[in-house]
Amino acid sequence: MKRKLVAVAAAAAVMLTACSTSPPALLKADGVQRASVERCAYADELALLRASTRKLGAALLADGGQDGNGNVISSPGSLLIALAMLRAGASGGTATEMDRALGLPAENRDESLNALLASLEEFDGDPASVDEKNPPRKPVMHTANGLFVDQGVPTGEGYLDILARHYGTGVYPVDFRDEGVTKPAIDAWVDRNTGGRIKKAPAQYDPENTFSLLNAVYFASAWNVPFDPADTSDLPFTTPDGQQVSVPTMATVQDVAYAHGAGWQAVEVPYAEGFVMRLVLPDSGTPGPGAQGLADAAVALGAAVPTTMQIYLPRWDQKSSFDLRKVFAALGLQEMLQTESDFNAIQQGMVIKQAAQAANITMAEKGTVAAAVTQINAEAVSGVAQLLKVIRFDRPFQYEIVHVESGLPLFMGTVADPRSP
């Protein structure tokens, strides 16, 4: 069927202007007017969004990614935002299923996501400006939402209006059949919004697609108290199979939040401003506490008083990729994956075809740099004093990077072997 040329507009305030055609043209949404919201007005909804993010994080950690080496770096925060944008165009049984499976707010869903994104914008910056060998004292927390739609398929103006008003989503009309132009354009969006840490879109390109929704998250920050490289040395680390290996391990003494529970102990190491890394260490000889341990640690650390700790923490530089269709199925989102009618508000007969996430992290003495991209594609068809507490992360452990103001875990991961990427 010959595709009809239609105009795509997010709202009257959105004007689409073409960039140069060489390199491949990107269309940019200019003048998008985001609705102004106050975070304090959506406290109950934000609590539900935090719980939803943890549920997504648990599913990502359980899936383990496609590398299969035990190490996992994921962004449940990115996945939450991408799914919320998809939910904005869902109806019928799929909408009900998504709300139930994800625990999304019954009311003010898009407004509360807007408030969450607004709370992160204090730290927005250009990833390309970051010297990753010297992460900034002022954290860079960049999020971006992009939607590539086929210029020959009608896309619901009401849907695009929601994305413009509450998500600040850039809309890019393209010709998916022209892979030589459109694939490089999507990859360029990913590369730009992750500071080059992720070069290509994570989902497989399909020229039959008519819809590609993306969220990118980039984080870079120095520690509040850097680890001294002179204190880094090779120390033992026990891998999941019981093998003891030697890995570069940082050391520091700091006053940090410390907590312990059944089978685990945890610390919260602050970045220079606005963010913390929570680290959860299982007791020796016990399995990792999993995502529930991270959730329990978050509650316990929130009530903890600062404790002087000696911390031994390996460096790691790792990446993961996920086939999100498997994750969605595990979450019970079967109807979302199969419906041919419940996304009609976006495009008539739209069916989810691919969904993927790519994420990576570099953790070292000066700070942390991490990035993630979530993509959903669719097709329209019809030496310290003994009084010091000591914690040694010398066996598999879990971690998350948390935005303090919102409490949202933006990144979540497992370190099974610091030597492996």
pLDDT tens-digit profile of 182-209? 999 999 999 999 999 999 999 999 999 9
User: Residues of CATH 2.30.39.10 domain(s) within the chain?
Assistant: 229-317+384-415
Task: Give the span between the Cα atoms of 45 and 166, in whole angstroms.
Answer: 15
Query: CA-CA distance, 80 to 74, in Å (whole number)?
Result: 12
Interatomic CA distance for residues 247 and 238, integer angstroms: 10
Q: What are the two backbone dihedrals, phi and then psi, of residue 27, each rounded to the nearest 5 degrees?
A: -95, 140
The residues of the chain that CATH labels 3.30.497.10 are 15-222+320-380
Q: How far apart are CA 405 and CA 14, in angstroms?
A: 31
For 73, the token pair is 């770096």
Structure tokens at 230: 């002179």
Confidence bin at 290 (pLDDT 50/70/90) = low
Residue 24 has pLDDT above 60, yes or no: no
Question: Which one is the CATH code of 229-317+384-415: 2.60.120.260, 2.40.50.100, 1.10.1740.10, 2.30.39.10?
Answer: 2.30.39.10
**Cα dihedral 61, 67, 73, 76 sign:** negative
Flag whether pLDDT at 350 surpasses 50.
Answer: yes
Quote the pLDDT of residue 295.
84
Beta strands of 134-263 (E only): which ranges? 140-150, 170-174, 211-222, 233-238, 244-261
Give the pLDDT confidence score for residue 245 in this predicted structure: 94
pLDDT in tens, 75-128: 999 999 999 999 999 999 999 999 999 999 989 999 999 999 999 999 999 999
- Strand order across the beta sheet in which 211-222 lies: 170-174, 140-150, 211-222, 367-380, 350-363, 316-323
Residue 170 is encoded by which pair of tokens?
Answer: 């850039």
Residue 54 and residue 331: Cα distance in Å, rounded?
Answer: 12
Global pTM reads 0.89
The three-state secondary structure class of 17 is: strand
> What residues contact 336, with CB distance under 8 A and at least 6 apart?
86, 90, 94, 97, 98, 328, 342, 352
Q: What is the pLDDT of residues 226-258, one digit of tens each?
A: 999 999 999 999 998 899 999 999 999 999 999
Our measurement of the distance from residue 384's CA atom to the centroid of its chain's CA atoms, rounded to an integer in Å, reads 37
| CB-CB contact of 346 with 211 (8 Å) | yes
Q: Which amino acid, 273?
A: E
Q: How confident is the model at residue 37 (pLDDT cuts 50, 70, 90)?
A: confident
* CATH number of the domain located at residue range(s) 15-222+320-380 in this protein: 3.30.497.10
Residue where the block lists tokens 């089978």: 263
How many whole angstroms separate alpha carbon 298 and alpha carbon 292?
Answer: 10
Contact 256, 276 (CB under 8 A): no
Cα distance between residue 286 and residue 412, in whole Å: 20
- Are 306 and 53 in contact, with CB atoms under 8 Å apart? no
Residue 145: pLDDT band by 50, 70, 90 thresholds?
A: very high
Q: Which of 414, 419, 421, 403 is nearest to 118 (CA)?
A: 403
Q: Say which residues have a Cβ less than 8 Å from residue 35's Cβ, sequence separation at least 6.
A: 111, 114, 165, 166
26 in Cβ contact with 19 (< 8 Å):
yes
Taking each helix axis from N to C terminus, what angle separates 43-63 and 76-87, rounded to the nearest 10 degrees? 120
| Tokens encoding 8 | 């795509």
